[in-house]
Structure 1
Amino acid sequence: MQQLHELGDFFRHQYVDTGFIPANFSVKEVYLRSSDSDRALVSAQAFLYGLYPAAGGYQWNADTDWQPLPVHASTPGQPDLVCKPTAIKCARHEVLVAQGDRESKAVYDVKYSDFFSELSKTTGFKNCSYLDINGLFDVQRELIHNMTAKQPEWVTQTWNQYDNRSSMDIITEMRTVRMMNLFNSEEKGKLQGGPVLYNWIQNALAVSENRNDQRMLLYSSHDGVLLALLNAFRASNDMMVPYAAALIMHVYSDNGKYYSELYYRNETTADPYRIPLSRCPDPCEVSQLASAFQNMTVADLSEMMSVIKTLISVL
């Protein structure tokens, strides 16, 4: 929550202090949508606290500078194409991911055979292998929160045969490979990130055509969705998404034309860095976005189901 609050504070300095959005929250100019996930909803509130702490006449309680601000959420139990398209079941995607996992398992089970042999004895994972990495990686959350006192020895063990790397270093390497396998092709990128990409492009077009009065659209989503969108943009850095990361699209006018630029903030101590859009000249005219990525976008649930059925038919 502290990281999300800090992200909101960064946005306040970047966009409120510069006058891009008003000093006091306005529903006409700032809109935040979240997935129905508890974590995403709470993250959205922490972010808004950093972006718009109550001040002056907006401070309704003398003991706090927090103020209630609206967070819009998707309908519980319904497909969410904007904030959580990765939760939509897709048989074709499952086939592609399983194929990638099999190929990686064949490599890493051999590469780290000593590692898996030892962890089979100490972790509770019988015949521990590459396919157990996601479960092993969960301990990283405890380490991030300094819950180190009662960790088993294997967690901090170093391995001479693997360049003195720690167990968590090795696990993180394989966890990254498994995570990237969910999105690391054009087909996977479209299946998982196509709906979000379509939404972003349509919003950019709306700005360029003066059809949107809102100055800032915000989405509280998930690491997998951010990775899916990066892959749909063909702009992935093949790294996992840290907590409180932000993918930012700027849309601006210059000499009568509208342009878009993509930025990624994946470090709390560094400014966002710009991501070139490989399929579009730099800077990319908004009018070219739709055509540049037309084979990667998915407009709605009906098209999503159509894409899935079409791809399944070629299995």
Structure 2
Amino acid sequence: MLYSVIVILLIFNGYNDARKLIGTHIILRHGERTPSYLYPTDPNDSHFWPNGLGQLTIRGRLEHVTLGQYIRERYSDLLNSTYVASEITIRSSDYDRTLMSAYSNLVGLYPSTKNFELPESFLHSNTWPESLPWQPIPVHTVPKPIDHLMAVSSCGQYEELVEILRKSSRIQRLNDEFRDFFTFLEKHTNQSIADIFIAWDIADTILIEAIYNVAPAWVTPSILRQLRQISDLCFYHLLYSYRINRLRGGPLIRDILNNIEKITTNNEQGRKAKLYFGHDITISAILAFLDVNYVHQPPFASGLFFDLYQQDDNSYAIQLEYLNKTNSQDTQIITLPECLNAMCPLERFIELYEEKLPGDMDKECKSAKTKRTYSRIHHVSFVSES
């Protein structure tokens, strides 16, 4: 019996030692932000929030500084301690909050001093340290309307599919379930709520106001729980459709696979690491595309890690980990469907998802431009122009 245990341990350890990390692709949500939308009776106008609506808070910047430090520690053997252009590419959606998150993250990933430590107390004080080590590192972006990669582009086909979704029996059942709560919200916000997605706008704002203890007096802990439930359900059901998550998650998966091909074929254009700074919808879309989504809203400064390994037989494998808590370093390994274990062979990964990848996104986004019957949703997940 003891001999068997030893053999198993040796096999397991040998497997671990035989594999080598050769690349990573990291998809990150921006840090804490101010509300993107104000309901009619909101007691806090846009001037209440520093820099206005939809902007990264100081805490949000510091969350990414510490997340950058975690990435530095995690990939210390993969990436040079100083920035090397041929090793890494940083991509962001064209929003202030994602661009600022990217630059803040790079403060932690590539500090200009070896002895840099950010006191934990700063993460809660919402006060920017007077001096942080910084060096200029490029962050790439494209205009929102054409940014299919980060799931914020103008896409007529996507809007059309969302319109169909909002009329579906799936969403109607949710509307019926929350009807009394919608009536309650309408009374206190003076806003008509046609469906759960309009309630989502209100939920997003109040949940942030609660962080700063400036939510209206009628927002009790019980109300907050229901608002959180609405937010979580909207993310899940929005991307449940294969046709929707294909448009929103597919382009980024294709970009990852393209770079993996360059890494595995020693193409000089390949990068050991690609960091993508996006939104909650960016992460949810990827999880849904991979068929591992669940009812939740990806938290601030959360991230997905696609680690690429070369194994002793020269084959390649991908391991996916999810950092699904703000100010945490505790990732969860995600086993993809139809993979034998968490270390999914690259060939199997491609086999599972390649046919689902979209083609020319400009063509795929064309729609019949059906007449809109529901009010437009303010959340960035739906409207890139706001």
> Given the two structures, how large is their TM-score scaled by the length of structure 2?
0.68
Task: Output the CA distance in 2 between the equivalents of 1:250 and 1:56.
Answer: 26
Root mean square deviation, CA, Å: 2.7
Q: Supply the AA of the counterpart residue of 1:262.
A: L
SS in 1 for 2:271: coil
Aligned to 2:138: 71
Residue 253, structure 1, aligned to residue 253, structure 2: no
Task: Output the CA distance in 1 between the equivalents of 2:114 and 2:239.
Answer: 46
2:339–2:348 contact (8 Å) kept in structure 1: yes
* Matched residues, number: 290
Aligned to 2:216: 152
Which moved further from structure 2: 186-195 or 278-287? Answer: 278-287
Over the matched positions of the two proteins, sequence identity in percent amounts to: 23
2:144–2:153 contact (8 Å) kept in structure 1: no
Aligned to 1:95: 160
Task: Output the CA distance in 1 between the equivalents of 2:366 and 2:193.
Answer: 36
Gaps of 5+ in 2: 1-60, 117-129, 370-386
Task: Output the CA distance in 1 between the equivalents of 2:68 and 2:192.
Answer: 44
Aligned to 2:241: 185
Q: Which of 260, 281, 284 is the matching residue for 1:224?
A: 281
Task: Output the CA distance in 2 between the equivalents of 1:120 and 1:310.
Answer: 33
Task: Output the CA distance in 2 between the equivalents of 1:173 and 1:57.
Answer: 42
Task: Output the CA distance in 2 between the equivalents of 1:64 and 1:276.
Answer: 41
Higher relative contact order (CA 8 A, sep 6+): 2
Q: Supply the AA of the counterpart residue of 1:147.
A: N
User: How do 1:1-315 residues align onto structure 2 when only pairs under 5 Å count?
Assistant: 1-16=61-76, 19-55=77-113, 64-76=131-143, 79-82=146-149, 84-91=150-157, 93-102=158-167, 103=169, 106-126=172-192, 130-137=196-203, 138-144=205-211, 146-148=212-214, 151-156=215-220, 166-212=222-268, 214-255=271-312, 256-267=314-325, 268-282=327-341, 283-299=343-359, 303-308=360-365
Q: Supply the AA of the counterpart residue of 2:217.
A: E
Task: Using the TM superposition, give the Cα deviation of residue 2 of structure 1 relative to its aligned residue in structure 2, in angstroms.
Answer: 1.8
Q: Deviations over 1:154-193 (max 9, x none)?
A: 212x6xxxxxxx1121122122222223211222111111
- In the superposition, relative to structure 1, how do residues 310 and 211 fare at CA in structure 2: closer, same or farther (>3 Å)? farther
Task: Using the TM superposition, give the Cα deviation of residue 308 of structure 1 relative to its aligned residue in structure 2, in angstroms.
Answer: 4.4
Q: Deviations over 1:250-289 (max 9, x none)?
A: 1111121111111111123342111112144433222333
SS in 1 for 2:146: coil
Task: Output the CA distance in 2 between the equivalents of 1:13 and 1:270.
Answer: 10
- In the superposition, relative to structure 1, how do residues 127 and 49 fare at CA in structure 2: closer, same or farther (>3 Å)? closer
Aligned to 1:161: none
- In the superposition, relative to structure 1, how do residues 96 and 279 fare at CA in structure 2: closer, same or farther (>3 Å)? farther
Aligned to 1:163: none
Structure ranking higher in helix proportion: 1
- In the superposition, relative to structure 1, how do residues 45 and 309 fare at CA in structure 2: closer, same or farther (>3 Å)? closer
Task: Output the CA distance in 2 between the equivalents of 1:65 and 1:118.
Answer: 46
Task: Using the TM superposition, give the Cα deviation of residue 104 of structure 1 relative to its aligned residue in structure 2, in angstroms.
Answer: 5.1
Task: Using the TM superposition, give the Cα deviation of residue 57 of structure 1 relative to its aligned residue in structure 2, in angstroms.
Answer: 12
1:117–1:128 contact (8 Å) kept in structure 2: no
Task: Using the TM superposition, give the Cα deviation of residue 11 of structure 1 relative to its aligned residue in structure 2, in angstroms.
Answer: 0.9
Q: Deviations over 1:203-257 (max 9, x none)?
A: 1222122225532211111111111111112221231110001111111111211
Task: Output the CA distance in 2 between the equivalents of 1:252 and 1:127.
Answer: 48
> Given the two structures, how large is their TM-score scaled by the length of structure 1?
0.82
SS in 1 for 2:337: coil
1:119–1:154 contact (8 Å) kept in structure 2: no
